[in-house]
Structure 1
Amino acid sequence: MTTLITHPLPALAVGLALGSRFIPPRLLLAGMLAACLPDLDVVAFKLGIAYHDAFGHRGFSHSLLFAACMGVLGALCCRLLGSGPLKAGLWVGLATASHSVLDAMTDGGLGVAWFWPWSDQRYFLPLHPIEVSPIGLSRFLSPRGLEVLISEARWVWLPCLGVAAAGIVLRRVLRRND
């Protein structure tokens, strides 16, 4: 799994790149929260649900169906999010799906059940350079946790910074040319 520090960054980067006129602040925040939501499935460990179970870690909450359901919820809450239903639904759904994409880029775990409930198979992307994060604060606050953060900085944080900066610069250039 990628850390909860990293999961909201793609939504934040794209939102900053597009600007607040296109992605209002409440919609941006909703996307960042939606990007973290799938990891609530770690509660399954406390309930005795096995990792490999459909309702275990990286199971149904990491599926495309779950992301689509979150998108529908975003569309239904569009007025609260300061946006139209299509934009809110797409934003929240894609932000939720970004979580499982990052997890599918890690070098450990069982993969992601993208096609649940139609298939229990777990998937990784062909490129999976991100160090998998240990589960639990005590394990994370260790040399292994530092390795994970360095890996995430290289493979997620820096590209997200580049996306945000490029979008901001491009918007300023386009504004000057108007």
Structure 2
Amino acid sequence: MASIFGHVALGVTLGKLLLPDPRYLRYWLLAAACAFLPDIDVVGFRFQVPYASLWGHRGLTHSLFAAAMVASASVALVRLFHRQAGPPPGRLWVLVFLATASHGVLDAMTTGGLGVAFFSPFRLERYFFGFNPIEASPTGIRQFVGSTVWRVLQSEAIWVALPCALLLTVQRLFSRQTAVAR
């Protein structure tokens, strides 16, 4: 899996790109949390849930179906509790869906694990992309030390943080240019 740092960086970036107004900062943070949320399935290791099962790591919680459910629930909760202050529901749904789904995308670009069950619960096959530049992060905090942490963070700096920074820079330049043109 990619580390929490890579997932959160991509979630915040998606939030800033899709809801650029700073008053939506809380939704950037929601996107960051949703980008990491699929790894809740690692608790299954504690209960001997088989890795390759529906409920195993990179199974149902990493699927596009789960991303759609998280997005739908998030929009419903925001509409219930923040009627006037929330962003447009459709845009929020897209943000939360993309942030949650981005987790599986990053994991499918890593060098380890069993792949991602993108189409779970309908199909249990797991997938990797043909391009795997992100060093797989250990699943336990105790293993996330020493040279391992540096290899993971270096690969994420190149393949996650740098593209995020470039996208945010382009957005900033475009918004400045648009403001000057007005």
TM-score by length of 1: 0.93
| Aligned counterpart in structure 1 of residue 158 of structure 2, from 154, 158, 161 | 154
Deviation at 1:77, TM superposition (A): 2.2
- Distance, in Å, in 2 between the alignment partners of 1:65 and 1:124 is 18
Deviation at 1:143, TM superposition (A): 0.8
- Distance, in Å, in 2 between the alignment partners of 1:108 and 1:98 is 17
Deviation at 1:19, TM superposition (A): 5.4
Structure 2 partner of 1:70? 70
Specify every segment of 5 or more residues in structure 1 that has no aligned partner in the other structure, as ranges: none
- Distance, in Å, in 1 between the alignment partners of 2:75 and 2:23 is 14
In the alignment of these two chains, the number of paired residues is: 178
Aligned Cα RMSD in Å?
1.7
Structure 1 partner of 2:27? 27
Native 8 Å contact 1:74 1:85 kept in 2: no
Structure 2 partner of 1:41? 41
Counting only pairs closer than 5 Å after superposition, residues 7-18 of structure 1 correspond to structure 2 as: 7-18=7-18
- Distance, in Å, in 1 between the alignment partners of 2:124 and 2:23 is 34
Structure 2 partner of 1:114? 118
Native 8 Å contact 1:104 1:123 kept in 2: yes
| Aligned counterpart in structure 1 of residue 134 of structure 2, from 92, 110, 130 | 130
Deviation at 1:118, TM superposition (A): 1.3
Deviation at 1:128, TM superposition (A): 1.2
- Distance, in Å, in 2 between the alignment partners of 1:18 and 1:38 is 21
Structure 2 partner of 1:144? 148
Native 8 Å contact 2:8 2:35 kept in 1: yes
Identify the range of structure 1 (122-131 vs 78-87) with the bigger mean alpha-carbon deviation.
78-87
Structure 1 partner of 2:60? 60
Native 8 Å contact 2:15 2:95 kept in 1: no
Counterpart amino acid of residue 144 in structure 1: T
